[in-house]
């Protein structure tokens, strides 16, 4: 019976723990704003084999009355005496590789949606003079509670953005234990909501690391090239930085050695620093797909805190400088019109092995995109890992980055809005210095309603308030007015810079209609076809009207590309999709087998006939 926890044993035990908790109230942790450019920091990776316990009924978190228990698995309790009753033991539990999803590492968990507990430990020598220690997660899907040495460090929801806790006061010298409760159950109020066409990979899916920062550190910063006339002899770069504390009068120095830039400024009362530097245009190579030039950028902080202690910090980054804007129906990169030769990508390993989370994974996927002739990728439908974004920047590939406001979100729920806004904030905070990211997308295929319009218009304006240097968009849907007339009519068009829509002529509609299709897009803005495509099982061949054959998909691509070529204002496209990807909505045996087969590459890396069709078309673009 559960209330053994409340036996005289437990009472004696609870008094002890209660005293302990009183003593350690001071030793609390707190969520701190996302640390910018964690990759340039002194870190200790906690990646590796973590023990895990599958906890279907959350026995480790709730008592049998469904009240959160103090004796949860986060205590990592061990029997002290022979008669002690502890009904879990992480150190006897199996292990899996972190980062990584649980679905592809334990076949019993392939379809599993629920709670899994993870445990790892590390040695530390504390305190570290003049420093704080942050515990940083690249992403955890979906709802997680983090504990350090039995104390809760924090609770985070959202499966695709980073978060970190200041755990300095929770650390002890010697062995430290980190326990993470992860729950990926789908809920109507979540973002994404109950249904979505991708696998709900659960777990600690990206890097986990301890990060050492000075007591006062550069929390985040942003560098952007200001727009200018093409003939401008000087170009201006604006730098803004924010300290972890509202300390005024601290010196922040920006250094871009290759551009002979070195300039100082001091922080204001909020701990914000801002400066503008001017660089001769001829000295600056602008970032673009053909020349993805990045410059080493150093930021240093020097000053004194009120108590006279030294304030000092340093971060270094590799940043490209470019401008992106629209002019009528054109997208201008560095002032010149560009056509976005794109493809959509889900964050799955190229070899069918679950969530991708490394530079190598990204490089393989992006190399296929390059082979297609792409200069642009739509990272769908959620922020992908930082390695992927940085590898695309290195390879000269422009990026559309999106938050999972997907299909039928709970528009009226204020917590759902806060959640979406938080994911947007974190997506921008992590990648705001990536030159290759040109579009922030705030939604995909959302049903029209006043509540939806309110939700999305607020998000769009909020995105612009965070970053007015990039384009805002979302993947809309067209209304088929009559057999062959398609009209894009969306109240959100006034809030976006690029009108993008998904269309599935040839798959969810008859391919033979393609040549007769008329597209009415009554907006003087660039148009992106953010999705089109159809399924094919690699190696399955037959007539072009035989669904699921490569010939059917090949023909669908040919017809669609001819059709969209006639769309006035077409500035780009990102066909659905680069690679077959897992989806619980795709259950057709021997064809889908829980894969969405709309890839132009199969889940084993085989290129389908449509790959060539798109490749040929991009050669002309
Ligand atoms: C939708 C949606 C995708 C989905 C695709 C499909 O447009 O945005 O997430 O996978 O259609 O049906 O294959």
Q: What would the 3-class secondary structure string for 3-62 be?
A: HHHHCHHHHHHHHHHHHHHHHHCCCCCEEECCCCCHHHCEEEECCEEEEEEECCCCCCCE
Nearest to 151, CA basis, from 123, 120, 118, 177: 177
Q: If 0-12 CB within 10 Å is exposed, 13-18 middle and 19+ buried, where does residue 359 land?
A: middle
pLDDT band (50, 70, 90) for residue 511: confident
Q: Cα(112)–Cα(200) distance, rounded to whole angstroms?
A: 9
Query: Lowest-pLDDT range, 42-46, 349-353, 456-460, 522-526?
Result: 349-353
pLDDT for position 536: 98
**Average pLDDT value over all residues in the chain:** 94
Q: Which pLDDT value is given to residue 71?
A: 93
The Cα 214–Cα 342 span in angstroms is 42
| Residue owning the nearest CA to atom 9 of ligand 1 | 197
CA-to-CA distance for 204 and 47, rounded, in angstroms? 10
Predicted pLDDT of residue 19: 44
Question: Which residues neighbour 533 within 8 Å (Cβ) at sequence distance 6 or greater?
Answer: 504, 507, 553, 556, 557, 560, 575, 576, 577, 598, 600
Please tell me which residue, 2 or 44, carries the higher pLDDT value: 44
The distance from CA 458 to its chain's CA centroid, rounded to whole angstroms, is: 20
pLDDT > 60? residue 219: yes
Give 227: exposed, middle or buried? Use CB within 10 Å, 0-12, 13-18, 19+: middle
> What spatial distance separates the first Cα and last Cα of the chain, rounded to whole Å?
70
What's residue 508's pLDDT? 84
The 3 state secondary structure assigned to 203-243 is ECCCCEEEEEEECCCEEEEEEEECCCCCCCCEEEEEEEEEE
149 in contact with ligand 1, CB cutoff 6 A: no
> 396: part of which helix (H) or strand (E)?
none
Any atom of ligand 1 within 6 Å of the Cβ of 580:
no
User: pLDDT of 96-113, one tens digit each?
Assistant: 999 999 999 999 999 999
Angstrom distance (rounded) from CA 154 to CA 453: 33
Residue 336 scores a pLDDT above 60:
yes
Residues 354, 525: Cα–Cα separation, whole Å: 37
C-alpha angle 109-110-114 in degrees, rounded to nearest 5: 50
Q: What is the pLDDT of residues 576-599, one digit of tens each?
A: 999 999 999 999 999 999 999 999
Q: Is 445 in the pocket of ligand 1 (CB under 6 A)?
A: yes
- Split at pLDDT 50, 70, 90, the class of 388 is very high
- What is the pLDDT averaged over residues 521-538? 98
Task: Give the number of the atom of ligand 1 that is nearest the alpha carbon of residue 533.
Answer: 13
CA 197 / ligand 1 centre spacing (Å):
6
The average pLDDT across 294-307 equals 96
pLDDT (0 to 100) of residue 464: 98
Task: Copy the structure tokens of residue 199.
Answer: 């696998």
pLDDT band per the 50, 70, 90 thresholds, residue 28: low
Least confident segment among 19-33, 409-423, 467-481: 19-33
Residue 540 CB neighbours (<10 A): 18
pLDDT of residue 12: 41
Mean pLDDT of 543-568: 97
Cβ-based neighbours of 274, under 8 Å, separated by 6 or more: 238, 239, 240, 241, 265
pTM: 0.94
Using DSSP's 3-state secondary structure scheme, residue 514 falls into: helix
Q: What is the pLDDT of residue 13?
A: 40
**What is the Å distance from ligand 1's center to 89 Cα?**
42
Give the pLDDT confidence score for residue 484 in this predicted structure. 83
402 lines ligand 1 (CB under 6 A): no
The pLDDT tens digits of the residues spanning 191-209 come to 999 999 999 999 999 999 9
Let me know: does 291 contact 435? Beta carbons within 8 Å: no
Residue 178 to residue 160: CA distance in whole angstroms:
21
Question: What is the mean pLDDT of the segment spanning 350-359?
Answer: 93
C-alpha 221/C-alpha 243 separation (Å) is: 9
Question: pLDDT class for 15, splitting at 50, 70, 90?
Answer: very low
Quote the pLDDT of residue 481. 63
Share of the chain above pLDDT 90, in %: 90
What distance in angstroms lies between residue 506's CA and the mean position of ligand 1's atoms? 14
If pLDDT is split at 50, 70 and 90, which confidence band does 25 have? very low
The conformation of residue 479, written as its DSSP 8-state character, comes to E
Minimum-distance ligand 1 atom for the alpha carbon of 475: 8
Query: Looking at residues 322-326, what average pLDDT do you find?
Result: 98
Ligand 1 neighbourhood includes 531 CB (under 6 angstroms): yes
Residue 351: pLDDT over 90: no
Query: How many angstroms is it from 545 CA to the middle of ligand 1?
Result: 21
DSSP notation for 542-598: --TTSTBSHHHHHHHHHHHHHHHTTSTTEEEE--S-SB-EE-TT---TTTTSSEE--
Which residue in the block uniquely carries the two structure tokens 């002309």?
620
Q: Which residue's CA is the nearest one to ligand 1's atom 6?
A: 197
Ligand 1: does its nearest atom lie under 6 Å from the Cβ of 55? no
Cβ(502) to ligand 1 under 6 A? Answer: yes
Is 576's C-beta closer than 6 angstroms to any atom of ligand 1?
yes
Position with higher pLDDT, 243 vs 128: 243
Return all residues near 397 (Cβ < 8 A) that are at least 6 apart.
Answer: 289, 366, 369, 370, 374, 375, 376, 377, 436
CB-based contact 114:108 (threshold 8 Å): no
Q: Which 3 state secondary structure label does DSSP give 257?
A: helix
Cβ–ligand 1 distance for 347 under 6 Å, the answer no
**Shortest-distance Cα residue to atom 12 of ligand 1:** 197
For 305-319, what is the mean pLDDT?
Answer: 95
Q: What share of the chain is helix, strand, coil (3-state, %, to 5)?
A: 25, 35, 45
Pocket flag, ligand 1, residue 550 (CB < 6 Å): no
Nearest residue by C-alpha to atom 10 in ligand 1: 197
Give the strand pairing for 471-477 and 499-502.
parallel
User: Looking at residue 477, what is its pLDDT?
Assistant: 95
**CB 571, CB 331: distance < 8 Å:** yes
As given in the structure block, the two tokens for residue 6 are 């409340």
CA of 577 to the centre of ligand 1 (A): 9
CA of 227 to the centre of ligand 1 (A): 36
Residue 10 in this model has a pLDDT that exceeds 60: no
Cα 615 from Cα 57, distance rounded (Å): 50
How many other C-beta atoms lie within 10 A of the C-beta of residue 337?
Answer: 13
**444 CB near ligand 1 (under 6 Å):** yes
* CA of residue 531 to ligand 1 center, whole Å: 8
Q: Please state, in angstroms and rounded to a whole number, the distance separating the CA atoms of residues 313 and 330.
A: 42
Q: How far apart are CA 144 and CA 164, in angstroms?
A: 12
Q: Average pLDDT in the 76-103 region?
A: 97
β-bridge pairing 208-214 and 479-480? unpaired
């Amino acid at each position: 019976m559960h209330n053994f926890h409340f036996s005289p044993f437990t009472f004696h035990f609870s008094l002890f723990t209660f005293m302990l908790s009183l003593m350690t109230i001071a030793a609390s942790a707190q969520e701190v704003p996302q640390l910018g450019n964690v990759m340039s920091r002194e870190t200790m990776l906690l990646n590796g084999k973590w023990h895990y316990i599958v906890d279907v009924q959350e026995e480790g978190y709730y008592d049998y009355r469904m009240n959160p228990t103090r004796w949860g698995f986060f205590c990592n309790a061990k029997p002290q005496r022979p008669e002690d009753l502890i009904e879990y033991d992480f150190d006897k539990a199996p292990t899996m590789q972190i980062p990584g999803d649980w679905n592809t590492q334990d076949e019993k968990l392939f379809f599993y949606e629920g709670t899994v507990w993870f445990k790892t430990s590390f040695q530390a020598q504390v305190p570290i003079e003049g420093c704080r220690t942050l515990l940083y997660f690249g992403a955890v899907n979906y709802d997680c509670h983090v504990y350090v040495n039995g104390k809760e460090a924090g609770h985070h929801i959202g499966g695709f953005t980073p978060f970190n806790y200041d755990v300095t006061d929770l650390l002890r010298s010697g062995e430290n234990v980190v326990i993470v409760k992860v729950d990926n159950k789908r809920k109507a109020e979540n973002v994404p909501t109950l249904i979505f066409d991708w696998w709900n990979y659960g777990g600690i899916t990206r890097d986990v690391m301890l990060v050492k920062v000075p007591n006062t550190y550069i929390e985040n910063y942003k560098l952007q090239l200001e727009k200018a006339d093409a003939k401008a002899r000087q170009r201006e770069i604006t730098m803004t930085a924010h300290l972890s504390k509202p300390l005024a009068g601290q010196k922040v120095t920006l250094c871009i050695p290759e551009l002979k830039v070195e300039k100082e400024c001091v922080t204001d009362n909020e701990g914000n620093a801002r400066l503008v530097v001017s660089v001769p245009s001829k000295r600056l190579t602008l970032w673009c797909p053909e020349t993805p030039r990045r410059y080493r950028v150093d930021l240093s902080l020097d000053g004194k805190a009120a108590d006279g202690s030294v304030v000092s910090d340093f971060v270094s980054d590799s940043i490209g400088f470019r401008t992106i804007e629209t002019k009528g129906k054109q997208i201008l990169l560095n002032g010149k019109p560009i056509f976005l030769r794109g493809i959509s990508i889900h964050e799955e390993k190229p070899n069918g092995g679950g969530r991708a989370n490394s530079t190598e994974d990204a490089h393989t996927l992006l190399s296929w995109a390059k082979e297609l002739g792409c200069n642009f990728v739509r990272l769908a439908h959620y922020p992908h890992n930082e390695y992927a974004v940085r590898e695309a920047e290195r390879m000269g590939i422009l990026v559309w980055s999106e938050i999972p406001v997907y299909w039928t979100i709970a528009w009226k729920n204020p917590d759902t809005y806060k959640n979406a806004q938080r994911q947007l904030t974190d997506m921008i905070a992590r990648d705001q210095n990536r030159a290759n990211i040109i579009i922030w997308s705030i939604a995909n295929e959302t049903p029209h309603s006043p509540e939806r319009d309110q939700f999305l218009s607020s998000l769009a304006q909020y995105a612009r308030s965070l970053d007015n240097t990039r384009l805002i968009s979302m993947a809309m849907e067209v209304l088929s007015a009559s057999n062959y007339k398609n009209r894009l009519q969306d109240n959100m068009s006034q809030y976006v810079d690029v009108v993008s829509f998904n269309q599935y002529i040839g798959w969810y509609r008859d391919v033979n209609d393609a040549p007769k299709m008329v597209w009415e897009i009554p907006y003087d803005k660039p148009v992106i076809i953010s999705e089109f495509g159809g399924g094919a099982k690699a190696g399955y061949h037959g007539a072009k009207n035989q669904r699921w054959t490569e010939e059917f998909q090949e023909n669908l691509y040919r017809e669609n590309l001819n059709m969209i070529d006639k769309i006035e204002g077409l500035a780009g496209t990102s066909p659905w999709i680069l690679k077959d990807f897992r989806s619980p909505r795709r259950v057709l045996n021997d064809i889908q087998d829980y894969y969405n087969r709309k890839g132009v590459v199969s889940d084993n890396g085989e290129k389908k006939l449509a790959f060539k069709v798109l490749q040929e078309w991009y050669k002309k673009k």
